[in-house]
Every structure is written in structure tokens, then in C-alpha cells.
């Protein structure tokens, strides 16, 4: 067997734990194509990124030295910091008197408090700040990232867990304040690094900085990255900004999105490496709102910036924080939420250790060996906890040819001259992807992103169930000038996001019966109706059949080559989710019992050349999805494009 498919042996990652879970709940459809798998001959060798490094770890706190409620920031501080005036960003509303009385300070004098884990060595070392989200303000959240602090410091990265418990609780629209406070901490760190009397004098590499946040903190880190580039506060220009730090990396853990809307707009994030992850069984931020921020992250031309998203099945909201754990809905969580089948907290935090360490070492330390993890999570299947993952990655070199956002013409692509064609499709439409919940009244239940829905059934209608027509296909035709202008060659890859749906369209009309429907592109009413209501080829007692398909490229001479998509990532339908203990609450709270999260795929042009060496990728004419691997099904597809990742993204063995 030629090509990449001939080099891959699949090894299941899920194992007995997930099998037992499926049997216990009766609600999880696990098919071979749904298993997370390891590429046996491409798995990253050596120790996991979660393995402690060579440095001894030091620990200290800094802060006001006068905190009435926190001994760690009163008597125990290694050195004192000045307070900052956040009154233009944080409004305590009617609770101001009570809150100010409890904390002993007002927004005019917020403290800069933090716990710091650091490598005991000469440095300088990269610096990462992490901030918690909203939680009971008296159940202090900042100690909950100790596991990350110990690990990162041992591997040569300073981690400061920032105390913002004093803006937790019932106030709203304070996430701009959280982002601004992160930048004020970075200003303080610049001073620490320049102060000969400070323990961190000369220890910090201020050219390699990261900000990380969880929940509301996960939104706030995007605001910090945006404010870092501004001269003034968007909501009150009398507040001047003077930041301009070298923030290279942003990590958002189960973030909210849209709590802060300057000028009624979502905050853009530019020119940083970006990682977002979310748990399917999150009982607080119950939809993957971070997908919207992921889509808003943009890069300048050139460079090696990238963004990545990870959706972890059975992970919740709180277990990323060792203080919060499974109590996503407060003390009553065991009575309200179905906690029985969450991944163990140590597994959830191990996933965070693997991805965050690999991401920060890639972004801040120029480490090449972890890059394949973001392209295809299966190369780390020997380390990742046993559950399922849906992942995407997009590189700064990505050039979109079909994003399905631009207009209402379903035949036009994202670049001038790109044409979209369908052949023998039962359904073809463009639509906005939905979230399963809106979380808050002033946010939408939308991913704010469009994709194309493609349905097919290759079987010919009639009593002979073995009679098949030619496979349906979706074709993206590229103008020659575009391929030439982009310099497309053997080093490029084809990338896109895709998920299968449960819908199975009905059989095609019989062409021998003289139907006028034959040959029409994507508008078969009969196929659409059957696909949504069931039918001869619809779901069986075992659920809909597995989905696979081929990806084909064609050059200007008509030469073609195909590869099988499942060789480049798992193809799965949206995963079943049950968060509430009572089914009626689940039905009332959510539009669906699953979340649409697209899996990302990157397919090297070189793999097509192995199938057809005479193919000329520099004169490429079309990219096609060919539905020849499964007789019927439906998929959602987005962001078809071309990337030039470079060797580091494909190399997966340690040397």
C-alpha cells in the first residue's frame, strides 16, 4: 500500500476505562473511526511534556503586605508591591460598601498579589502569568494552579498565579479589569527584573511572556493581549495605556466570550500564539465559547505563529483548578450536576500539563519537538488520558480558499476566482454553526462562524441495495494565477475542519427512470427530507454507520491523486453530553445534547505525490472531497485552505 495510509498502524487510546463508561451509561457511540488513535510509527518518543524538568523549584508570594484576609499576602510576602487604581474598569455597584469592608480596600487601591513558582537557576527564564475566573471570592482560587507552577518551574518557566479574588462574586462586566490587572502585573515584573534588591533581578526574559486564564480569566487574557497594543482604554480614553510587552503566547482555559464588549464589539487578538481548550461536560461555561475567540485570532503575513484548540470529552469546568474541582455549580453541584462519569481530576489536569507545557515551550523557548502534537493529537496518545479529543490547529501561513463567510453565493470561494462545485450531493448549504447554549442572556448561541453542510447517498433507489452510482463529491476549483501567486509546492499541505453529523440522506433517484433530478448539484429535496427524518439508509439500532471519505487533488493536466481522510485524524460525530442529573433540566437548558466541534486535518501535498508521482502541485486545478469511503452520510466542513508549515510540524520523533 502506497502513501501515508500504508505507514500507519492504529493503536486505541481509550482502553477499558472508556469502554466501561460506555457500557455504564449506554449513551456513548464508540465506533472504530471514533477512537482517538496513536500513529504508531509517528508517536513522539521520549518523556511526556508533563514530566518534571531538571530545575529545583522555588516558591514565594508577593503583594501588598497588608491583606486583611490573606496571610500569604500579608506576613508571608517576600517583597511588597504598590496598589493600582482600577476604578475606571471595575464597578462594584450596590455591593461596593460590603465588599470594600470585607477586603479592606477599594478599586482605587487594588493590590498586586501573586504566588510564584520559579526555577532555581541563573536564568533568564520566560515568564507566564495565570489568572483564575469567577468563583466564591472567599474560596480563594489562586492556589489552584499549583500543579502547573511546580511543573513549569521545573522545566525553566516562571509561573505567577495572580490573585483577583477581590473582583470575584456577583459583579459583572469586569473582564476588562482582569485583563488590565494582568498587564499591571507585567509592569511590576519589569520592575522586579531591573531592581538589584529584588529576588528576580535579572532572572526574567521579558522578551518571552505568556498570559493564561481560566473561565472569565480565559476571556481576560485576550483583552490583555489587545490592551497591550493600545494607547488608551477603549471605554474611557482619559485612561492611558503604556504597556507594549512582548506577549508571545495566550492560553484560554474554558473561557467565556463577550462579557466585555468595547464599542459593542468582540475583542480581536493579533499576532500571538493562541491555545484554547474546553471540556465537553463543563457545568458552568456549558458551550465551547472559546471557539469564537479562536476564530478571531489573526496573524501577520509570514512567521511561525499558530493557534490551536482542544475539546476534551468528559472534562468539566473546575477540575482545571485544584481548588475548584468538580463543583461547577457551587456547593450543590453533586445534587444538580451528573458528576459520575467525569474524567478523574488528576487526568484532566495531566491533559492541561501536557498541552500547556508543550505550547509554552514551543512558543517561548522555540522547542520544535512538540509541534506535531498540535497538528495531530494522536502522536501523543501514549501520554494523554484515556478519553476522546477533538482538535484543530491553524498556522500563520494558512491561506483560505473556502471559508463560507463572504456572501450568499454557495458557488463562490474566499478568493477571487475560486469556484465551488457539487456533484450528486443530496444536500449542499452554508450555515452558521451553533453552540449548544448561550450561557448568558446577552450572548448568542452561535459560534459566529459559517460552514458548509454536505450530504450524500451513493446508493440508487430501488430494491437492489447493492446498486451504486458514482461517488458524490464537493470540488473547490482554483484559478492558476492563485496557485502561482501563493507559491504552492510540495512543502504545502491542505487543511480544513470537519465533523460528521447523525443525518443519513435517502438513496438517489434512479437515473434509468428518467428523473430530472439526476445530475443536479446539491438540491435534491427528496434526499434532504429523508436525511432528516430517517429512511431506508438512516440510523439503525446501532446508530448511523461510520463516516470516511477521500481528499483528491487534480493538476492542470488532469492528473489526480487521492488519500483517505481518516489517516489524518479521527472522524467522529458530535459527542453525547449529559451535564444535569435530571433529563428535563438538560432538555430545558440546551438546544442539543451535543456540541458541534470540528476536527482539524492537515494533509501534506507530498502524500499525494506518493500516490501519483507525475502530479504537478504547482499547477493545481482543484481540491475535492470525494465521498467514496462510506455509502451515505453528512458532514460539516469549514476553512479549506493551504499552509506551508515547515518541517518541524511534521517531524514527530525526538532526536
Best CA proximity match to 50, nearest among 159, 154, 151, 120: 151
Average pLDDT for 125-151: 97
The answer to whether the peptide bond before residue 275 is cis (omega within 30 degrees of 0) is no
Cell, residue 109? 487601591
pLDDT in tens, 568-578: 999 999 999 98
CA 31 to chain CA mean position, Å? 23
Burial class, 213, CB count within 10 angstroms (exposed 0-12 / middle 13-18 / buried 19+) = buried
Cell, residue 251? 492560553
Best CA proximity match to 653, nearest among 373, 273, 452: 373
How far is Cα 195 from Cα 188, in angstroms, rounded to an integer? 11
- Higher confidence at residue 591 or residue 174? 174
CB neighbours of residue 259 within 10 Å:
22
Burial class, 542, CB count within 10 angstroms (exposed 0-12 / middle 13-18 / buried 19+) = exposed
Instruction: Please say whether the beta carbons of 220 and 86 come within 8 A.
Output: no
Report, in this order, helix, strand and coil percent for the chain, each rounded to 5: 25, 25, 45
Average pLDDT for 51-68: 96
- Higher confidence at residue 554 or residue 652? 554
Average pLDDT for 490-506: 94
* pLDDT value of residue 463: 86
pLDDT for residue 257 is more than 50: yes
Cell, residue 362? 514551543
How far is Cα 311 from Cα 287, in angstroms, rounded to an integer? 11
* pLDDT value of residue 17: 34
- Measured CA to CA in angstroms, residue 363 lies from 36, 253, 303, 357, 463 at distances of 26, 17, 12, 10, 59
Identify the band that residue 582 occupies on the pLDDT scale cut at 50, 70 and 90: confident
How far is Cα 370 from Cα 575, in angstroms, rounded to an integer? 27
* pLDDT value of residue 443: 58
pLDDT for residue 474 is more than 50: yes
Instruction: Please say whether the beta carbons of 8 and 38 come within 8 A.
Output: no
Average pLDDT for 347-361: 98
pLDDT for residue 242 is more than 90: yes
pLDDT in tens, 363-392: 999 999 999 999 999 999 999 999 999 999
pLDDT for residue 652 is more than 70: no
* pLDDT value of residue 542: 62
* pLDDT value of residue 543: 67
Which of 35-44, 124-133, 412-421, 637-646 is most confident? 124-133
Strand partners, 399: 642
Best CA proximity match to 308, nearest among 278, 341, 280: 278
Could you give the 3-state DSSP secondary structure of residue 331?
helix
Residues in contact with 402: Cβ distance below 8 Å, sequence separation at least 6, in sequence order: 413, 414, 418, 420, 452, 476, 639, 640, 641
* pLDDT value of residue 586: 83
* pLDDT value of residue 610: 93
pLDDT in tens, 277-329: 999 999 999 999 999 999 999 999 888 999 999 999 999 999 999 999 999 98
Average pLDDT for 516-531: 38
Identify the band that residue 521 occupies on the pLDDT scale cut at 50, 70 and 90: very low
* pLDDT value of residue 382: 93
How far is Cα 500 from Cα 521, in angstroms, rounded to an integer? 20
Cell, residue 143? 492556589
How far is Cα 28 from Cα 19, in angstroms, rounded to an integer? 9
* pLDDT value of residue 525: 37
pLDDT in tens, 175-200: 999 999 999 999 999 999 999 999 99
* pLDDT value of residue 271: 96
Lowest mean pLDDT among 113-117, 305-309, 328-332, 514-518: 514-518
Amino acid at each position: 500500500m502506497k502513501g501515508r495510509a500504508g505507514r500507519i498502524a492504529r493503536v486505541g487510546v481509550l482502553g477499558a476505562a472508556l469502554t466501561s463508561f460506555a457500557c455504564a451509561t449506554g449513551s456513548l457511540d464508540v465506533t472504530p473511526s471514533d477512537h482517538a488513535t496513536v500513529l504508531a510509527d509517528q508517536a513522539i518518543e521520549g518523556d511526556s511534556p508533563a514530566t518534571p524538568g531538571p530545575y529545583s523549584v522555588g516558591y514565594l508570594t508577593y503583594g501588598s503586605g497588608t491583606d486583611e484576609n490573606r496571610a500569604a499576602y500579608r506576613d508571608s510576602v517576600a517583597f511588597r508591591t504598590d496598589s493600582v487604581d482600577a476604578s475606571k474598569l471595575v464597578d462594584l455597584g450596590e455591593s461596593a460598601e460590603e465588599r470594600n469592608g470585607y477586603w479592606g480596600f477599594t478599586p482605587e487601591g487594588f493590590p498586586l498579589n501573586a504566588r510564584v513558582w520559579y526555577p532555581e537557576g541563573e536564568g533568564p527564564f520566560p515568564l507566564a502569568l495565570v489568572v483564575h475566573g469567577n468563583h466564591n471570592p472567599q474560596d480563594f482560587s489562586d492556589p489552584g494552579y499549583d500543579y502547573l507552577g511546580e511543573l513549569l518551574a521545573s522545566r525553566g518557566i516562571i509561573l505567577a498565579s495572580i490573585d483577583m479574588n477581590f473582583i470575584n462574586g456577583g459583579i459583572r462586566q469586569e473582564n476588562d479589569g482582569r485583563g488590565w490587572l494582568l498587564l499591571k502585573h507585567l509592569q511590576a515584573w519589569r520592575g522586579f527584573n531591573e531592581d538589584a534588591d529584588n529576588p528576580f533581578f535579572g532572572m526574567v526574559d521579558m522578551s518571552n511572556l505568556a498570559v493564561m486564564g481560566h473561565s472569565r480569566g480565559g476571556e481576560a487574557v485576550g483583552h490583555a493581549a489587545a490592551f497591550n497594543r493600545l494607547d488608551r482604554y477603549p471605554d474611557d480614553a482619559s485612561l492611558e495605556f503604556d504597556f507594549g510587552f512582548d506577549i508571545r503566547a495566550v492560553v484560554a482555559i474554558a473561557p467565556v466570550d463577550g462579557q466585555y464588549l468595547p464599542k459593542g464589539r468582540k475583542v480581536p487578538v493579533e499576532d500571538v500564539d493562541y491555545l484554547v481548550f474546553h471540556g465537553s461536560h463543563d457545568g458552568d461555561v456549558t458551550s465551547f465559547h472559546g471557539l469564537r475567540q479562536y476564530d478571531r485570532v489573526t496573524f501577520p503575513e509570514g512567521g511561525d505563529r499558530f493557534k490551536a484548540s482542544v475539546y476534551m470529552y468528559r472534562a468539566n469546568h473546575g477540575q482545571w483548578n485544584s481548588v475548584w474541582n468538580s463543583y461547577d455549580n457551587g456547593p450543590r453541584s453533586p445534587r444538580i450536576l451528573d458528576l459520575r462519569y467525569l474524567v478523574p481530576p488528576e487526568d484532566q489536569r495531566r491533559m492541561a500539563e501536557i498541552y500547556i507545557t508543550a505550547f509554552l515551550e514551543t512558543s517561548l523557548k522555540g522547542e520544535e519537538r512538540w509541534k506535531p502534537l498540535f497538528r495531530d493529537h494522536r502522536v501523543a496518545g501514549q501520554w494523554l488520558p484515556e478519553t476522546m479529543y477533538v482538535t484543530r490547529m491553524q498556522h500563520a501561513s494558512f491561506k483560505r480558499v473556502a471559508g463560507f463567510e463572504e456572501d450568499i453565493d454557495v458557488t463562490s470561494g474566499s478568493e477571487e476566482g475560486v469556484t465551488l462545485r457539487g456533484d450528486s450531493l443530496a444536500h449542499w448549504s452554508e450555515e452558521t454553526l451553533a453552540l449548544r447554549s448561550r450561557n448568558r442572556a446577552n450572548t448568542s448561541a452561535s459560534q459566529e462562524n459559517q460552514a458548509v453542510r454536505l450530504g450524500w447517498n451513493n446508493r440508487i433507489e430501488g430494491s437492489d441495495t447493492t446498486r451504486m452510482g458514482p461517488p458524490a463529491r464537493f470540488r473547490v476549483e482554483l484559478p492558476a494565477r492563485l496557485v502561482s501567486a501563493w507559491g504552492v509546492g510540495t512543502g504545502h499541505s491542505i487543511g480544513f475542519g470537519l465533523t460528521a453529523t447523525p443525518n443519513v440522506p435517502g438513496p438517489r433517484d434512479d437515473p434509468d427512470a428518467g428523473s430530472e433530478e439526476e445530475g443536479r448539484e446539491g438540491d435534491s429535496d427528496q434526499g434532504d427530507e429523508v436525511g432528516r427524518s430517517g429512511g431506508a439508509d438512516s440510523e439503525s439500532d446501532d446508530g448511523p454507520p461510520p463516516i470516511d471519505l477521500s481528499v483528491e487533488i487534480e493538476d492542470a493536466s488532469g492528473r489526480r491523486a487521492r488519500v483517505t481522510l481518516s489517516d489524518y485524524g479521527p472522524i467522529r460525530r458530535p459527542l453525547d453530553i449529559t451535564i444535569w442529573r435530571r433529563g428535563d433540566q438538560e432538555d430545558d437548558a440546551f438546544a442539543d445534547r451535543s456540541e458541534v466541534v470540528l476536527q482539524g486535518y492537515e494533509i501534506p501535498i507530498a502524500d499525494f505525490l506518493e500516490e501519483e508521482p507525475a502530479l504537478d502541485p504547482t499547477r493545481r486545478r482543484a481540491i475535492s472531497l470525494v465521498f467514496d469511503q462510506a455509502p451515505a452520510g453528512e458532514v460539516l466542513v469549514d476553512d479549506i485552505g493551504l499552509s506551508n508549515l515547515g518541517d518541524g510540524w511534521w517531524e514527530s520523533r525526538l532526536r
